[in-house]
Amino acid sequence: MVMRGGSSKGAYFVEADLPADTDVRDDLLRRVMGTPDPRQIDGIGGAHPLTSKVAIVAASERDDVDIDYLFLQLGVDQPTVSDRQNCGNLLAGVAPFAIERGLVMVDATAEAAELRILMRNTGAIATATVPVTGGRPVYAGDTAISGVPGTAAAIRLDFEDVAGGSCGALLPTGNTVDVIDGVRCTLIDNGMPVVVMRADELDIAGDETPAELEANDTLRRRLESIRLAAGELMQLGDVTDTTVPKLTMVSPPKELGAALTTRTFIPHRCHDAIGVLGAVSVATAALLPATPAAEVALVSSEDSVVLEHPTGTFEAAVTVLPSATGPVVERAGIIRTARKLMDGTVFPRTTPTDHEQAEEQ
């Protein structure tokens, strides 16, 4: 099934329908998506990291969880398949997909279904609350999210214990501020490993278009240098061939009611919006005293942070409490939407081996 989840789009599979061997599975998915090719012309990928995504879903064997969800980020022009991160956008479509495929049963009289989802990439759990009717998902509604035309039904996602899921701690270095290549950074993981920096320390305004930033070769080289150093500091090892950590540059807000403006590299393309869990991490950084994000932020609420991005705004509900061992995230939640786009059979690109087998037959 092809679904829009939040401001991303991806192919959703039932785990049992894919090969059990990881290498065989990944080869199949590359051929399904048309990777590697900048246009992904021979597959169903959309020639962008935000549309070259896969969700693998299964009924959970755990008593405290309804659904297991594995996210895979496929490269576009590179033959990569990574499970090093979660994806909160595709997460928005996981519960509706599981209901559609009969992996969970919903009371026909219920108006909403609350499903607990294990995000296998990091072991964290999210609870999705989705509207239903007659035991089926409802996609139509009046909720708008930035970066997506029109409106759809609201899907609430509440996260449990996502802090440090990839790096082992909310602040992997134990510091709220580290200096890399002369730039002050907050290295943070509240669901997504992110390097948060002030835009002006990178000699940009912070409100440029993604195209302008991607055309800035000096900036891109500097960001990659920072990212590689940050990966080691964040306990992620050599991140040369991975998609984490993300890199977010922050500046003062332009709109009334917003807390700060963001521009995010994911990690080599500038995001047209901002990822769900990346937004949660950046919002958390804005609530920590004396961080680069806090210095430019105008936070009007102690538990809600509105982030501006190139195509609109994103509101993250985050509560951070102090403790003797450092800040503790008490709550993190967001509202997303999702929609079923296509349900059918995909025909992956064949390989020379396929031709040989066909000739033998």
pLDDT band at 358 (very low <50, low <70, confident <90, very high): low
Q: What angle do CA 219, 52, 12 make, to 5 degrees?
A: 145
User: Is residue 10 domain-shared with residue 139, that is, in the same domain?
Assistant: yes
Instruction: Express each pLDDT in 260-306 by its tens digit.
Output: 999 999 999 999 999 999 999 999 999 999 999 999 999 876 678 99
Q: Are residues 190 and 310 in the same domain?
A: yes
Pairing status of strand 112-119 against strand 124-133: antiparallel
169 found inside a domain: no
pLDDT band, residue 164 (cuts 50/70/90): very high
pLDDT at residue number 246: 97
Report DSSP letters for 99-115, one per residue.
HHTTSS---TT-SEEEE
pTM here is: 0.79
**Residues 342, 291 share a domain:** no
Domain containing 115: what range? Answer: 2-154+338-353
pLDDT of the residue at 360: 61
Express as a percent the part of the chain with pLDDT over 90. Answer: 87
Query: What pLDDT shows up at residue 304?
Result: 82
Count: domains in the chain: 2
Give the integer Cα–Cα distance in Å for 333 and 281.
11
Instruction: Judge whether 76 lies within some domain.
Output: yes
Q: Does residue 329 lie within any of the structural domains?
A: no
Residue 303 lies in a domain: yes
Peptide bond into 267 cis (omega under 30): yes
Q: Give me the pLDDT at residue 106, please.
A: 97
Mean pLDDT check: name the lowest of 94-108, 255-269, 322-336, 342-356. Answer: 342-356
Q: Extract the tokens encoding 141.
A: 């509604």
